[in-house]
Amino acid sequence: MFEKIYSPVQKIDLHPLSNLYVKRDDLIDPYISGNKWRKLKYILQKAKAEQKNHLVTFGGAYSNHLVATAAAAARSRLQATAFVRGEEVNNQMLLICSLYGMKLIFVDRESYKNKVDLYKQYFDSDDSTYFIDEGGASAEAVQGCSEIILELTKTYDHIFVAAGTGTTAAGLLKGIQDAGLNTKLHVVPVLKGGSFIADEIAGYTTLSDHLILHTDYHFGGYARTTPELLDFIKKFSKQTGVLIDPVYTAKMFYAILDLYQQNQILTTDRILAIHTGGLLGLLGMKDKFHFA
Ligand SMILES: *Cc1c(COP(=O)(O)O)cnc(C)c1O
């Protein structure tokens, strides 16, 4: 199921940028969406090589990673269990996880903090299980994400990506370095205090001046939005015909336009934005949007 897939690169019209391209990883699969497909590719390969038939992972109740893992497990005929942070809830993400047969174990926020302990508590004597960290963060995920660079047939002055754990950004940076490109990688953390992302990336590849972190586009923190950001999503979707999500990709595209307004990028620069997917999250946000 992880046979080679090249996601398309599409030019979009986001006034006044005239050279903005989007790598449509959101189109790879609706459920194993975007960077989660890239991240799981080698994780599943490794799990299979180690003859594990049960994936165990972690996430919040709106985690794209949980949906992706559930779908990937079902299609690969593996079992899946997720530890879900917080009290029991039901939403569109967990519905899809359950339909794919993923077992959900809700754990309070305190216990969730120590994932290795949780894993041991439930699965210590079970050698069929394979531990996948929250968000899929791992060297295998970095390798999978670095392949995005290998698929590019043109060069860009700037590549933009949103970051949660920074694993995808690490893969892109590694890809850029390995290919000897001059491209700048602009990373937009979606959490408050996003400078920790540099340390995360440094755990996987050497930091270089290819990397630029923009820590001021978190809009209040993880999964937080503002009326301005929601308004941006509406305008962007209508103008470009491409849907974006409030948690990750909207913050990245907002940053691109804002940096242009600050003259940090030029209209003539060739820019590639990685659409990392995550659109299912939008469906839980209908009450946030107001349509007049
Ligand atoms: C998970 C996710 C990210 C963040 O990826 P990291 O590798 O954790 O930085 C970005 N965009 C979308 C849509 C995601 O689902």
Distance CA 188, CA 202 (A): 16
Question: Which residues have a Cβ under 8 Å from the Cβ of 161 and sit 6 or more positions away?
Answer: 168, 169, 172, 185, 186, 187, 188, 252, 273, 274, 276
In the chain, the N- to C-terminal Cα span, in Å, equals 43
Alpha helices in the chain (DSSP H): 35-49, 64-75, 92-99, 109-112, 115-123, 139-150, 167-178, 196-202, 227-240, 249-261
Residue type present at position 168? T
The verdict on the CB of residue 162 being under 6 Å from ligand 1 is yes
The pLDDT profile of the chain, 292 residues, written as one tens digit per residue, is: 777 778 999 999 999 998 999 999 999 999 998 999 999 999 999 999 999 999 999 999 999 999 999 999 999 999 999 999 999 999 999 999 999 999 999 999 999 999 999 999 999 989 999 999 999 999 999 999 999 999 999 999 999 999 999 999 999 999 999 999 999 999 999 999 999 999 999 999 999 999 999 999 999 999 999 999 999 999 999 999 999 999 999 999 999 999 999 999 998 899 999 999 999 988 888 888 877 6
Residues in the chain: 292
Q: Which of 145, 185, 276, 280 to mutate to test the pocket of ligand 1 (most atoms within 8 A of CB)?
A: 276
In CATH terms, is domain 37-136 a member of 3.40.50.1100?
yes
Gap from CA of 265 to ligand 1 centroid (Å): 24
The verdict on the CB of residue 163 being under 6 Å from ligand 1 is yes
Q: Which of 168, 201, 285 to mutate to test the pocket of ligand 1 (most atoms within 8 A of CB)?
A: 168
Question: Which residues have a Cβ under 8 Å from the Cβ of 32 and sit 6 or more positions away?
Answer: 40, 67, 68, 71, 72
Pick one of 3.20.20.450, 3.40.50.1100, 3.30.200.20, 2.60.40.10 as the CATH number of 9-30+145-288. Answer: 3.40.50.1100
The structure tokens 């205090």 sit at 193
Do domains 9-30+145-288 and 37-136 share one topology? The answer is yes
The verdict on the CB of residue 240 being under 6 Å from ligand 1 is no
Q: Which of 37, 64, 185, 251 to mutate to test the pocket of ligand 1 (most atoms within 8 A of CB)?
A: 64
**Is the entire prediction scored with pTM above 0.85?**
yes
The predicted structure's pLDDT at residue 3: 73
Integer CA distances (angstroms), 190 to 108, 200, 219, in order: 24, 14, 8
Domain borders along the chain are 9-30+145-288, 37-136
The verdict on the CB of residue 69 being under 6 Å from ligand 1 is no
The verdict on the CB of residue 63 being under 6 Å from ligand 1 is no
